[in-house]
């Protein structure tokens, strides 16, 4: 449903493209993980899929129609995205913050109705932030804020979810709960793309892993085909060992390696 | 389910509204001829009553003009703060008031009559200043940087101020006095006509800002978050900058440059009702109106000659701002 073909993105003033010839498809009921070293173009990929940055070449389409020909509000009703960073100088309550996910469904001067309240309440419950609704967002811990932001994207009731390092500030318990939640959303038919450095968690939960390096796709396949020591060592420029657990999932372990001279 | 915070917000809205009504009424009572409430009521009800002329032709239009000008400045401040994601933004800081003031001064010096032509020149000055500030902060096709925008605003405000000073240095004393009116705010020239002129210009920008309430909520979160939540960031920002410029120009041509209202009022109201603009904008309008009426009443009654209203907004505004700043940090 969300499909990018041979995208190239150049930032002004930079000689090397941020993304080069990247094609990616996100289907309903699929969880795709994007991984790669810092600066490999992961966040740029998310922006490009949203139609938020101009493409030097290539196309992005949603249900066969170019995202560029749709309004931002129309896109946001189908595709919700969690950016890596955001900081508002004007903190609000958690309840209000989650309700912002409904704005795309509301006419400019209309008040939120029972449907909006229900969608927000469901999102709040799924992300386990019900006990925080009356708190101001600037009093939350990093992990709590991350879950509130995720609840906001679910309140949009999207068909496609794009998440940029959603587990960055989460403890192990909440990280596992997050991926369990993403799996259940996928089972309900959502298409989800997650950018993360946690390949071990991705290996368990992803349907596909796409590896990016210097703006290019250098690996795309089922976790078992991607979790290979040669591929990962070359990608991260560090010796990496891959072990197979009793349930068959691969986990990667960085080796002590040489004296760093990078 | 009613939340304690929402209930507190409703109490705040009620308190602000009642205070504004009281301030407006007291402002009509106060003046060279003090009038008791009974006399004011009588004058409002009947044109035949003893002090009807003072109340109806002088005080009511002045108080109403101060109210709508102050309300508009507060709304401009609230919108600009969201757009540039900086609680220190206001029309003065972004150079918009300076541009408007320069436009009005030029109009006066070349001998254009007050009213529409001055308002048009002020709008042109405000839009030109906003365009230059906007242009400076979006170099090489990159996204607008809110810190650069504020810095550019300060620089353009200083530049417009310098140009205005140079122009005033070469004109005759009569033109000088007329022109300085645009630099130091005041409502001495208020009339029903001035109120009508202002209302005609202000109604469309105010309507558009209200229309943008939800996108402004989103833009305050940052460009990436706003985009993913359905706001067309560049378009909303451009529209908001244009309409706040026109609205600021309207306030400058009606009453000169009045600082601090656009800074303190939205800040205080955000603290009381939260940052969502559907709630914030109307409350800020009422509070900004009440605050400016209060400042004008003080300006025309503490000394035998009238003080510029901007001095009073600064005197009340700066300590209030300092207290609020400390509270918000704690």
Q: Which CATH architecture has domain B4-329?
A: Orthogonal Bundle (1.10)
What are the Cα distances from residue B254, in Å, to A198, B8, B50, B209?
60, 35, 29, 20
| DSSP track, A233-258 | HHHHTS-EEEEE-TTS-EEEEE---S
The yes-or-no verdict on residue B314 having pLDDT over 50 is yes
Q: How many CB atoms neighbour CB B110 within 10 A? A: 10
Across the interface, which of A80, A86, A96 has its CB nearest the CB of B276? A96
Residue A73 binned pLDDT confidence (cut-offs 50, 70, 90) = very high
> Does ipTM come in above 0.85?
yes
> Which residues of chain B form beta strands (DSSP E)?
none
B9–A contact, CB cutoff 8 A: no
Domain parsing of chain A, residue ranges = 2-226, 227-262
Rounded distance between C-alpha atoms, residue B67 and residue B109, angstroms? 29
CB contact under 8 A, A87 and B275: no
> What's the mean pLDDT in B250-277?
90
**Residue of B228, B263, B276, B281 to mutate when probing chain A, most A C-beta within 10 A:** B228
Across the interface, which of B81, B215, B228 has its CB nearest the CB of A81? B228
Rounded distance between C-alpha atoms, residue B99 and residue B121, angstroms? 10
**Residue of A90, A106, A111 to mutate when probing chain B, most B C-beta within 10 A:** A90
**Closest Cα partner for B238 from B88, B134, B145?**
B134
B211–A contact, CB cutoff 8 A: yes
Please give the model's pTM, rounded to 2 decimal places.
0.91
List pLDDT tens digits, range B29-88.
998 888 999 999 899 888 888 888 889 999 999 999 999 999 999 999 999 999 888 877
| Ranges B12-26, B124-138, B141-155: which has the least confidence | B141-155
How far away is chain A from the Cα of B310, in angstroms, using its nearest Cα?
A: 27
Across the interface, which of A52, A77, A106 has its CB nearest the CB of B227? A52
> What's the mean pLDDT in B306-326?
79
CB contact under 8 A, B225 and A96: no
CB contact under 8 A, B222 and A85: yes
CB contact under 8 A, B275 and A92: yes
A91: which chain B residues are within 8 Å (Cβ-Cβ)? 275
Residue A190 exposed, middle or buried by CB count within 10 Å (0-12, 13-18, 19+): buried
Domain parsing of chain B, residue ranges = 4-329
**pLDDT confidence of residue A260:** 61
The CATH label, of 3.30.2130.10, 3.40.50.150, 3.40.50.300, 3.40.50.970, for the domain at A2-226 is 3.40.50.300
List pLDDT tens digits, range B136-170.
887 655 666 777 877 888 899 999 999 998 988 88
Tokens standing for B123?
A: 């709008």
Across the interface, which of B85, B217, B224 has its CB nearest the CB of A100? B217
| Ranges A40-44, A208-212, A224-228, B91-95: which has the least confidence | B91-95
CB contact under 8 A, A86 and B225: yes
Average pLDDT of the residues of chain B: 88
Tokens standing for A225?
A: 């085909």
**pLDDT confidence of residue B3:** 47
Compute the CA torsion angle A124, A129, A130, A131 (nearest 10 deg). -170
The whole-angstrom distance between residue A158's C-alpha and the CA centroid of its chain comes to 13
Across the interface, which of A13, A73, A92 has its CB nearest the CB of B230? A73
The backbone torsions φ and ψ at residue B45, rounded to the nearest 5 degrees and listed phi first, read -80, -40
Rounded distance between C-alpha atoms, residue A76 and residue A98, angstroms? 15
Rounded distance between C-alpha atoms, residue B217 and residue B239, angstroms? 15
Which residues have C-beta within 8 Å of that of residue B108, sequence separation ≥ 6?
A: B114, B118, B175, B178, B179, B182
The yes-or-no verdict on residue B1 having pLDDT over 60 is no
CB contact under 8 A, B140 and A92: no
Helix (H) / strand (E) element for A219: namely strand A216-221
**Residue of B87, B229, B284 to mutate when probing chain A, most A C-beta within 10 A:** B229
């Amino acid at each position: 449903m969300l499909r990018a073909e041979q995208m190239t993105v150049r930032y002004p003033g930079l000689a090397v493209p941020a993304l080069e010839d990247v094609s990616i498809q996100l289907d309903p009921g699929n969880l795709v993980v994007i991984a790669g070293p810092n600066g490999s173009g992961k966040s740029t990929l998310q922006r490009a899929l949203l139609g938020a940055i101009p493409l030097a070449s290539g196309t992005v389409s949603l249900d066969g129609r170019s995202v560029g020909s749709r309004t931002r509000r129309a896109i946001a009703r189908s595709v919700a995205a969690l950016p890596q960073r955001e900081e508002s100088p004007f903190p609000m309550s958690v309840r209000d913050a989650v309700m912002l996910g409904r704005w795309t469904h509301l006419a400019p001067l209309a008040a939120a109705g029972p449907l909006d309240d229900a969608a927000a309440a469901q999102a709040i419950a799924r992300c386990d932030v019900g006990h925080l609704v009356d708190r101001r967002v600037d009093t939350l811990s990093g992990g709590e804020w991350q879950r509130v932001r995720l609840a906001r994207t679910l309140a949009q009731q999207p068909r496609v979810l794009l998440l940029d390092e959603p587990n960055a500030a989460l403890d192990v318990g909440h990280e596992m709960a997050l991926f369990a939640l993403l799996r259940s959303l996928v089972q309900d038919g959502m298409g989800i793309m997650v950018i993360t450095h946690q390949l071990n968690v991705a290996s368990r939960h992803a349907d596909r892993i796409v590896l990016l390096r210097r703006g290019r796709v250098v690996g795309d396949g089922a976790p078992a085909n991607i979790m290979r020591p040669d591929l990962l060592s070359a990608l991260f420029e560090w010796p990496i060992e891959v072990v197979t657990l009793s349930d068959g999932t691969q986990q990667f372990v960085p080796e002590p390696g040489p004296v760093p001279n990078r | 389910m009613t939340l304690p915070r929402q209930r507190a917000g409703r109490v705040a809205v009620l308190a602000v509204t009642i205070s504004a009504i009281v301030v407006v009424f007291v402002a009509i009572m106060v003046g060279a001829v003090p009038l008791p409430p009974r006399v004011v009521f009588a004058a409002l009800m009947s044109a035949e009553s003893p002090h009807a002329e003072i109340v109806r032709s002088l005080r009511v239009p002045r108080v109403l003009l101060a109210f709508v000008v102050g309300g508009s400045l507060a709304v401009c401040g609230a919108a600009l703060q969201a757009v540039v994601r900086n609680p220190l933004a206001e029309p003065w800081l972004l150079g918009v008031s300076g541009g408007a003031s320069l436009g009005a001064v030029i109009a006066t010096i070349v001998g254009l009559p007050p009213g529409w032509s001055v308002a048009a020149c002020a709008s042109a000055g405000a839009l030109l200043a906003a365009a230059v500030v906007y242009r400076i902060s979006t170099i090489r096709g990159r996204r607008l940087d809110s810190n650069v925008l504020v810095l550019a605003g300060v620089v353009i405000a200083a530049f417009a101020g310098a140009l205005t000073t140079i122009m005033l240095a070469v004109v005759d004393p009569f033109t000088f006095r007329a022109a300085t009116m645009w630099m130091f705010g005041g409502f001495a020239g208020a009339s029903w006509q001035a109120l009508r002129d202002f209302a005609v210009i202000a109604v469309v920008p105010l309507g558009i800002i209200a229309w943008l309430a939800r996108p402004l909520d989103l833009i305050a979160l940052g460009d990436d978050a706003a985009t993913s939540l359905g706001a067309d960031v560049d378009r909303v920002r451009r529209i908001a900058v244009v309409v706040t410029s026109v609205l600021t120009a309207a306030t400058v041509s009606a009453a000169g440059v009045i600082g601090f209202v656009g800074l303190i009022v939205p800040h205080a109201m955000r603290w009381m009702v939260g940052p969502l603009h559907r709630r914030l904008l109307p409350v800020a309008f009422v509070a900004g109106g009440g605050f400016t009426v209060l400042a004008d009443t003080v300006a025309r009654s503490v000394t035998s000659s009238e003080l510029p209203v901007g001095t009073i907004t600064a005197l009340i505004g700066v300590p209030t701002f300092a207290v609020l700043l400390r509270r918000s940090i704690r």
